[in-house]
Amino acid sequence: MTYENIGIEYKEQWAVIIIDRPKKLNALNKATIAELSDAFGHLNADPDVRTIIITGSGEKAFVAGADISEFAHFGEAEGQRLAAEGQEKLFDLVENLGTPVIAAVNGFALGGGLELAMACHFRLASDNARMGLPEVSLGVIPGYGGTQRLPQLIGKGRAMELIMTAGMIPSEKALAYGLVNEVVAQENLVPLAEKLAAKIAQNSPVAITHAIKAVNAGFKDGTDGYQTEISAFGQCFGTADFKEGTTAFLEKRKADFPGE
């Protein structure tokens, strides 16, 4: 599959998506969102891909925001449609993807860029990364899930401050806030993500998919996360991965999960 705005590198048991619009600091436009949606769908369906890493090209930006020129002339209905379609097509897709997604934030992650990183299952950052939701400085609010995911990750008070000031925080503060899991030098960022991807790949992909679903359920209104966990736990018992994992443990050998 060939794309205009993104690239995909296939590794051992994982793939790396690279957002490649360096002249625009990898800003998200409609075409890039559509390509990312398609790529995530294809990679999620590939049984050889156990983890997905997403990062930006170059050394300046993960994603420096949305492409404002595409929607500066929109009215209310068009604005609502932009947010609804974007959330469904990409951001909610990533959050609920059965394949784990690691964001390797290699520079600016602003607006839609931070929203994309927050939709991933967890985040790593380079020491030069800066993150924020500057939308209110443009007379609008985050529209790709930022007002919901940021408070979940860093707490309501800090999220309110970051959104209302339209400020940026450095990677070390993002680490202290719990917005990212680790901060490393830029040259070590993707290698760290790949090291974690390799660890994830050793485990049951079926169980990981159920774990993602169960964890996410606890953050959804009207959903009983505990009941989702109970159901998912039981479903694991009917899988080939469960049989292999328990058999390998009893036989004192490393499990070779079939992913079924």
Tell me the two tokens of residue 249. Answer: 């443990």
156: amino acid identity, one letter? K
- CA distance linking residue 2 with residue 165, whole number of Å: 40
- CA distance linking residue 132 with residue 114, whole number of Å: 7
Active site residues: 115, 135
Return the closest-CA partner of residue 31 out of 56, 63, 67.
Answer: 67
User: Residue 199's CB: how many other CB atoms inside 10 A?
Assistant: 10
- CA distance linking residue 110 with residue 166, whole number of Å: 10
Long-range pairs of 174-180 with CB within 8 A, sequence gap ≥ 24: 174/125, 174/129, 174/131, 175/125, 177/153, 178/153, 178/154, 179/118, 179/123, 179/131, 179/150, 179/153, 179/154, 180/105, 180/123, 180/124, 180/125, 180/129
Return the closest-CA partner of residue 196 out of 174, 211, 181, 179.
Answer: 181
